[in-house]
Amino acid sequence: MTDSICPECSQPLPLTGGLTVDPRDGSVFVNGDRLRMPPMEATLLMALWTRRPRFVPYEIIFDDMYGLESDQDWPSPKTLNVYVFNLRRKIKNTPLKIETEWGRGYRLIVEDQKERAA
C-alpha cells in the first residue's frame, strides 16, 4: 500500500504512536526498533495491512500466505490461528490490533482509525 511510503524518498512513513510499517517487506518498527517475526507472520501482517481496515476472509489470507489455487486443499484454519496468536503478541504494544470475525477471517485496525470510526 503506497499510503505509508514517502513518494519522494521511498522510505516508510511513521504512522502513529511511534509505529512504522514498511509494506515492501512487512517490517514493523516501534520507536525505531524492529519487531522480529518469521516470514509467514510478516506475510500475514502484509495481507491484513494492505487491506486495512477491511475484513479479510481466510481464503484471501491463505492465498497470500501459501499461494494456493482454489482447487487445492487449504491448510487448517487452526494453522492461521497460531500465526495470528503469535502476531498479536508481537504487536500488542503498538497501535495495531487484529480483530477476529469467527469463522470468516480477520481485520487489521490502527487504533486511531478505530477511534475515529466510533
Q: How many whole angstroms separate alpha carbon 26 and alpha carbon 44?
A: 9
pLDDT of residue 84: 94
Residue range 99-116: average pLDDT? Answer: 78
pLDDT of residue 37: 82
- What confidence tens digit (pLDDT) does each residue in 67-86 have? 866 556 667 778 889 999 99
Asked if pLDDT for residue 22 goes beyond 70, the answer is yes
Instruction: Output the pTM of the full model.
Output: 0.73
Q: How many whole angstroms separate alpha carbon 81 and alpha carbon 74?
A: 14
Task: Tell me the domain boundaries of the chain.
Answer: 2-117
Q: Considering the chain, what percentage of its residues have pLDDT values greater than 90?
A: 18
pLDDT of residue 2: 42
Residue 113's SS3 state is: helix
The CATH code that applies to domain 2-117 is 1.10.10.10
Supply 2's cell numbers. Answer: 503506497
In sequence order, what are the beta bridge partners of 109?
Answer: 97
Q: How many whole angstroms separate alpha carbon 5 and alpha carbon 23?
A: 8
Tell me the H-state helices in the chain.
39-49, 58-66, 77-91, 111-117
Asked if pLDDT for residue 34 goes beyond 70, the answer is yes
